[in-house]
Amino acid sequence: MSNKVFHILTFFLFCQLCFGVVKYDLNSVSENDLLLLGFPSSVVKDVIAYRRNKRFGTLEELKNIPSAEGFYNMFEKYLYVVTPQDYKIRPGDKLFVLGKETDVLPDGKCVLYDITMDVAGYTLEQVKEKYYRGTGKELDIVLRKTTGWVYVVGEKGVVKSGAYPASTLLELISLTEVDNSKFSNKILVYRNGQIHRYNFITLMLSREDPKVYPADRVYFKKRVFWKVIETLDPVVRVLRDVVIVYGVYYTLGRK
């Protein structure tokens, strides 16, 4: 076992002793996290392969996987499943409505049979109720696939805002077309009510590449220089217009 793996396992066990058992959603837990929890690689690969074809509806579905059945008690200890009743719809999710698949758009809207409606932030039952109130008709709707998107925002001109596939922070920087001339190198990641702060230069020098997770909000900050320039820009425009008007008036006056 390498020193790096040993330190990771030691830290993981320390966290368990100090903060209790950490639980993960079975439908979003990563392959690496399952390996760190102590599951054999063959079992982990089978679970991930099963999940690619079908989202887990309950934890008991693990018993359908022969290699995982013997580890069910261990799965119960570390994992749980978010049920459709609890899940709040997010941009990028796929819904199955009256026999047709439809996407939840980045702005949170979705075409539901005959109307377009805001659905992000609502559970399936709340969407059905909202549709019934608006149309007087009942809607058959199923959550087909959940998103793997993160949401990127930033100060004007720094980054191309929008929803992007969950990946790593450095990959996200390349996808969002960050303008290095305006980027302050400061990155804020909002996750579950907490703020994680990163510095792009530090990440590059240390060769770290933190993972970003679905529903994370990533914020790119602008250099102070450009903030000052943009703040003074209206004043500069007024002064420029005054100089032009004064120049024209002075020229005509001399004539």
* Average pLDDT of the residues in 123-148: 82
Domains of the chain: 3-80 (no CATH), 94-145 (no CATH), 149-222 (3.10.560.10)
Distance CA 239, CA 199 (A): 37
Phi, psi at 208, each rounded to 5°? -85, 150
Task: For residue 3, give the amino acid letter.
Answer: N
Distance CA 181, CA 226 (A): 9
**Strand order, beta sheet including 217-222:** 162-165, 149-154, 217-222, 183-191, 194-199
Sign of CA dihedral 167, 168, 171, 173: positive
Tokens for 3?
A: 């020193």
Amino acid 85: pLDDT = 64
Cα-only R_g, the chain = 26
Strands 149-154 and 217-222: parallel
Distance CA 208, CA 203 (A): 5
Are the C-beta atoms of residues 161 and 154 closer than 8 Å to each other? yes
Q: What letter does residue 87 receive in the DSSP assignment? A: P
Give residue-wise pLDDT tens across range 21-72: 456 778 878 888 888 888 999 999 999 999 888 878 788 899 999 999 889 9
Amino acid 143: pLDDT = 74
Give residue-wise pLDDT tens across range 209-248: 888 877 788 888 887 654 444 554 555 455 555 556 555 5
Distance CA 56, CA 68 (A): 14
End-to-end Cα distance, the chain? 90
Give residue-wise pLDDT tens across range 83-132: 656 677 877 778 888 878 888 887 788 888 888 999 888 888 889 899 98
Averaged confidence pLDDT in the chain: 76
Are the C-beta atoms of residues 41 and 28 closer than 8 Å to each other? no
* Look-up of token digits 């359908």: 64
